[in-house]
Structure formats: C-alpha cells, structure tokens
Amino acid sequence: MPAQLKEVLYTAEAVVEGGREGHGRTSDGRLVVDFSVPASMSGDDGPGTNPEQLFAVGYAACFQSALLGVARGRNLDPSGSQITSRVGIGPLDSGGFGLQVSLDLHAPNIAADEARELMLRADQRCPYSNATRGNITVALSVDGQRIAQVG
C-alpha cells in the first residue's frame, strides 16, 4: 500500500493540450512549454521539450536539495556540486513504455567515500526517489562511478 502524506504542503497544477506534440502550462503561469517528440521516437525533433527532459530536471533539482540537506547536517561542503540526471524511455517486455533514471554527483569539495554515502542518504530522503522506488530502475553514481542501483 502506498505511503500516505500526513499533510499536503504544496500542489503543482498543470494543463497540457496535444500530448507529446502539444503545449503545457502551469496554473500560475510560471512555466509555459511547447512539446516536441524526439526523432529517436519517430517524432519531428522540433524545438520543444519533452516530458523526459522535464522529469530529468525536476528529479535532479529535488535530489540535489535532499543531498544538500544531508551534507549540511554532516558539516560537509557541497558548494560547487552538481547532479546530472538522465531519464531514458523505451518499450517494456510486458508492453507499453517505461522509464529508467541515472543520477550522477559531482562534488569537488567532498571526498569520494562521503559523496557515495550522501547519494545513498539523499536517495532515502528525496520525494522523487521515494515515488519511483520499486517502480523503475534508478542508478546512482559519483563522477561516473556507479555506487548503487535501486528500484
């Protein structure tokens, strides 16, 4: 059974028309995007973004926030750190399509062993990681060196 929120702190609302070849906007007007389908998915590779790019940015931002919180709690210096997120989409053996994610940390001011521990702790804290756990494969790494695969 899915975990239930104790309370809802914020709700994002967006409206999309036209699916992967349409456009979308948030209810507050802060985000307005046109969508295009990548050529590798038989699309026109137009100038718009796609849901996977939006998911990659959202997951990376959320994950890094979790990581920054853990780093501060351990008196580590996360300045200059970056999370690179890659979201892949493809057909499932069972039919339909699925996603896979990789999250890579570059943290120039944190030792590699501490960076690996931060990634694992951030993965437990991040709402995106909690939402995807058990549903999709998520690979964690530090400077390209895989440390864990979850999900």
Give residue-wise pLDDT tens across range 132-143: 999 999 999 999
What local confidence, expressed as pLDDT, does residue 72 receive?
A: 95
CA torsion 85→122→110→108, rounded to 10°? 20
Domain coordinates in residue numbering, the chain: 1-49, 51-150
State mean pLDDT over 60-73.
Answer: 97
The dotted CATH code for 51-150 is 3.30.300.20
The dotted CATH code for 1-49 is 2.20.25.10
79: left (phi over 0), alpha (psi -120 to 50) or beta: beta
Q: Are 140 and 127 in contact (CB under 8 A)?
A: no
- In which band, very low, low, confident or very high, does the pLDDT at 3 lie, cut at 50, 70 and 90? confident
Percent of the chain scored above 70 by pLDDT? 97
State mean pLDDT over 73-96.
Answer: 96
Listed residue (105, 90, 104, 103) closest to 133, CA to CA:
103
